[in-house]
A and B are shown apart, each in its own frame.
Chain A
């Protein structure tokens, strides 16, 4: 061996072999790190794609539609600020007298665009405020005051527990019961759900931001807030018995808007020290200071297949200067998962290779 190693050709061959090994290790190191960061080599990490896959496993694949809150309608209107919010947030939308155009969407949760409106007591309102300075404020709100869970992981596990059993086509109630038993943070939501009845109109519900955000005022100070839209002039918002149709919310909204605009007050609630600002599953005490910062006026509705809300991803982290995200872990998860859903449905709309054809435009039910 020693004699052979001392031969110069042999030494050169060794050096070259070792050099190739060094090159291979460096390349494999970079490729492996890239694969790990990209999630392909991290099969247990919760990724946006795995989240959306689970939504599809629960609700089926409906090409062209949002993977959650799939059934909805577009609305248009504006937000009229009264200036009360301006001392707490420098966002242009809160300037006194400022009118900001809004494109919104009412919907019901779940990924099935054909679900009956009575299948859930939850209704949602999503809004995109287009500020005059080119900035935007996007928010997605729900009619229940608290979210069922506090973390993306728990939400993912809840979706897993809700996945229909292949044998029955329905979720296994024992799995759901086991999930709720293991997640005591769901108590406030379950207490709400126990008494909540599906409303017969989008117009009679209040819509809550659920997550907390930080308003930043002209003095640079931050204020932890939650907001909600509360229907105005509730006198004419009488509750009627639910019509027999599966899609009565859309019809009701069109009938009401034919008689005139619908209005909501935007109420902002301020946290006090100790209130959970990173936990959407817990309500704040009802005596927290609340400010009426203006009025949302909804004037028109259009079907979601052709309306202006179709191509908007209501990502709650699209925020104007003066509103910032809190450290609620649900916010980045919503942003990341919505982006994945948006990419899938726009790719289907664009008929990109490997995507299913959307059926949205041919479907009479969503047009009605």
Chain B
């Protein structure tokens, strides 16, 4: 079942894991800041905006890396439906990674808020001030975040399914050739 070659490049793996940590943190920061009235609200908002822009910049780099180095193919014996689900969910993740920061940026622009990345560094507005647009974009930002979180859960479940149950090298193509922890877990079981 195991494929001989077929690893993601070092750059792709580094970007994947760096962005995984950033995006999961971002989802928790976002949902936490709108559900808090304590001082947590203030510092979470302060992290949320620059972190969102950083994710936006990284996803552009990541798309460029992906275009130059196509990812390893999925195992040939994987059922068609699973392959389809894998491709669809990966492209959905890319679309959401690009859209989330853009919608957030546009939403703050439409609400007339200055977007301060630091004390004095301000991002320009990318959308005209409009309360109707703000309401649409602000609600969209929440729903896309829920969709992103659900897609992340499905993605992680699928990765573990490949690593623990199918053991077909799909998970280790994004970790290391040895994938020692997963292999250990799989053996212990």
Contacts and interface: CB of A to CB of B under 8 A. Distances in A.
Interface of A: 14-16, 18-20, 22-23, 26-27, 30-31, 33-34, 37-39, 42, 45-49, 51, 133-136, 152, 310-313, 317-318, 321, 325, 327, 329, 331-333, 335-337, 339-340, 342-343, 346-347, 349-350, 352
Nearest to A353: B139
B134 to A, nearest CB: 5
Contact of A48 (B34, B45, B138, B152): B34
8 contacts: A23-B161, A37-B31, A45-B36, A329-B38, A329-B39, A335-B42, A336-B41, A352-B136
B165 interface: yes
B92 to A, nearest CB: 18
Contacts of B33: 336
A136 B37 contact: no
A333 B131 contact: no
Contacts of A349: 131-132, 135
A67 B89 CA distance: 40
A135 B132 contact: no
A134 B40 CA distance: 26
B23 interface: no
A346 B132 contact: yes
B139 A332 contact: no
A34 B119 CA distance: 30
Give the interface SS of chain A, mostly helix, strand, loop or mixed: helix
B156 to A, nearest CB: 7
Give the interface SS of chain B, mostly helix, strand, loop or mixed: helix
Given A19-B189, A321-B120, A26 B37 contact: no
A15 B35 contact: no
A26 B154 CA distance: 11
Given A31-B153, A34-B149, A343-B135, A313 B114 contact: no
Contacts of B37: 46-48, 51, 152, 332-333, 336-337
Contacts of A310: 131
Given A48-B37, A135-B114, 17 more contacts: A16-B165, A23-B161, A23-B164, A30-B152, A37-B28, A313-B111, A321-B119, A325-B42, A332-B40, A336-B33, A336-B34, A340-B34, A342-B111, A343-B135, A349-B131, A350-B132, A352-B135
Given A19-B164, A48-B35, A311-B131, A26 B28 contact: no
B186 interface: yes
A38 B145 CA distance: 12
B131 A350 contact: yes
What range describes how many residues of B lie at the interface?
A: 35 or more
A343 B138 contact: yes
Closest 6 A-B residue pairs measured CB to CB?
A39-B35, A19-B164, A350-B135, A333-B37, A346-B135, A311-B131
B84 interface: no
A352 B131 CA distance: 12
Contacts of A340: 34
Contacts of A332: 36-42
Contacts of A134: 114, 122, 124
Nearest to B115: A134
B166 to A, nearest CB: 10
A121 B40 CA distance: 33
A15 B185 CA distance: 10
B111 A33 contact: no
Contacts of B160: 19, 22-23, 26
Contacts of B165: 16, 19-20
B35 to A, nearest CB: 4
B27 interface: yes
B71 interface: no
Contacts of A346: 111, 131-132, 134-135, 138
A46 B37 CA distance: 7
Contacts of A26: 156-157, 160
Interface string B16-55: 0000000000011001111111111110010000000000
B131 A37 contact: no
A336 B39 CA distance: 10
B31 A38 contact: yes
Contacts of B124: 134
A334 to B, nearest CB: 9
Interface string B149-171: 10011001100110011000000
Nearest to A346: B135
A34 B189 contact: no
B91 interface: no
B132 to A, nearest CB: 4
B35 A38 contact: yes
A343 B114 CA distance: 17
Which of A318, A333, A339, A346 gathers the greatest number of chain B CB atoms within 10 Å?
A346
B175 to A, nearest CB: 15
B131 A327 contact: no
Interface in B88-118: 111-114, 116
A49 B36 CA distance: 9
Contact of B28 (A19, A34, A51, A333): A34
